[in-house]
Amino acid sequence: MTAARPDADDPRTHALVVIGIVLLAFNLRTAAVSVGPVLAEISESLGLSGAESGLLTSLPVLAFAGFGALTPRLAHRIGPHRLTLIAVLAATAGLFGRSLVDAAWPFLALSLLALSGMAAANVLLPSLVKRHFPDRIGLITAVYSTTMAVGLTAASVFTVPIAENYGGWRIGLAGWGVLAVAAIIPWIGLVAHDRPDGDDQPATISMAAVARTRLGWLMALFFGVQSLQAYAVFGWFPNLYRSVGFSASDAGLLLGAITGIGIPLSFLVPALTARDRVRLPMLWVLGGSYLVGYAGLLLAPAQGAWLWALLVGIGTTTFPMILTLIG
């Protein structure tokens, strides 16, 4: 039996956790999304080769696969709140650091640092919600999914204007590090809620145990495909839009349309996911939106760009659906 949490009924702790989760969620995708709209400028400034540009846009998937898989074991060893603080510190350091370097490989390494911190925090969030709000998982998941969509949209839309008006792509990227600093503060206050002996932590399920179940494989496949789709959108769509004649600002706005449609849907989808009769039809609608959006981009990328952006954006809301299923 798991011991009751000493802070279970402490409203101040709950308020601090909510603030921490919201600030963290806002910053979870900025390191990945802010690169795409200014990728051409970064490549020119740092002399990135085609392979290095491809690696840069692939780093979110690599970070999530590598560091995300290690996160549950690390959280059990050092505590979820401590690990969340470490993850936010790593992300902040990477965001600031990569805006200061003048060579390709340091930029890639610091981007990986930022993305790894965000990957770990991404894995930790559902367990933190379940730990502190076991009776309100759907509501809190909807809140942080919506906040994540707001952060996505902000990074998509404002990176280029910041870069154009305040000194180039370095400022455009570093600005998101300033916001990440705010996410550090609540988690400093929450590290005391990790017990050194780990007695207050629920038993973990090994990866081997999950791998022996059909549901585990299906969830892993679903999560992996969705993550691959999302990071392909964030990394390459702005470049695609610019290649068919859109300006950097318009490419950022189109990416903002993709992420912006997720703001209302991220609050709605978790509630619908909880309904058994709605879940499967909704999955077909979201998946179909992806397919139609991609087909439109292939056949008429410039003419119907805004429509295809909205359809792909609807498809990306499979992410809050997955988070709700995990919770």
DSSP per-residue codes, 182-223: HHHHHHHHHGGGS-TT-TTSPPP--HHHHHTSHHHHHHHHHH
Domain with 309 in it: what CATH number? 1.20.1250.20
Please identify which residue in the block is written with the tokens 């295809």: 308
Q: What share of the chain is helix, strand, coil (3-state, %, to 5)?
A: 80, 0, 20
Confidence of residue 104 (pLDDT cuts 50, 70, 90): very high
Residue 175 domain-assigned?
Answer: yes
Residue 189 domain-assigned?
Answer: yes
Taking each helix axis as running N to C, give the angle between helix 276-299 and helix 262-273, from 0 to 180 degrees, rounded to the nearest 10. 150
Selection from 31, 9, 61 nearest residue 151 by Cα:
31
Instruction: With a cut of 60, say whether residue 58 has pLDDT above it.
Output: yes
Give the separation between CA 121 and CA 92, rounded to whole angstroms: 12
Please identify which residue in the block is written with the tokens 């060579």: 103
Q: For position 292, what pLDDT does the model report? A: 95
Residue 2 domain-assigned?
Answer: no
Instruction: With a cut of 60, say whether residue 122 has pLDDT above it.
Output: yes
**pTM confidence score:** 0.80
Q: Which two tokens stand for residue 250?
A: 């318009």
Selection from 147, 305, 173 nearest residue 237 by Cα:
305
Confidence of residue 319 (pLDDT cuts 50, 70, 90): confident
Q: What mean pLDDT is predicted for residues 159-172? A: 93
Residue 198 domain-assigned?
Answer: yes
Instruction: With a cut of 70, say whether residue 145 has pLDDT above it.
Output: yes
Instruction: With a cut of 60, say whether residue 196 has pLDDT above it.
Output: no
Residue 4 domain-assigned?
Answer: no
When comparing pLDDT for 195 and 15, which is higher?
15
CB 137 within 8 A of CB 93: no
CB 98 within 8 A of CB 114: yes
CB 112 within 8 A of CB 243: no
Instruction: With a cut of 50, say whether residue 123 has pLDDT above it.
Output: yes
List the single range of 27-36, 106-115, 179-188, 318-327 with lowest mean pLDDT: 318-327
**Domain housing 195:** 11-326
Give the count of domains, the chain.
Answer: 1
Residue 5 domain-assigned?
Answer: no
Residue 63 domain-assigned?
Answer: yes
Q: Which residues does 165 contact at the CB level (< 8 Å), separation at least 6?
A: none
Residue 1 domain-assigned?
Answer: no
Q: Which two tokens stand for residue 161?
A: 């204007």
CA 110 to each of CA 37, 91, 102, 247: distance values in angstroms, whole numbers, following the listed order = 19, 9, 12, 28
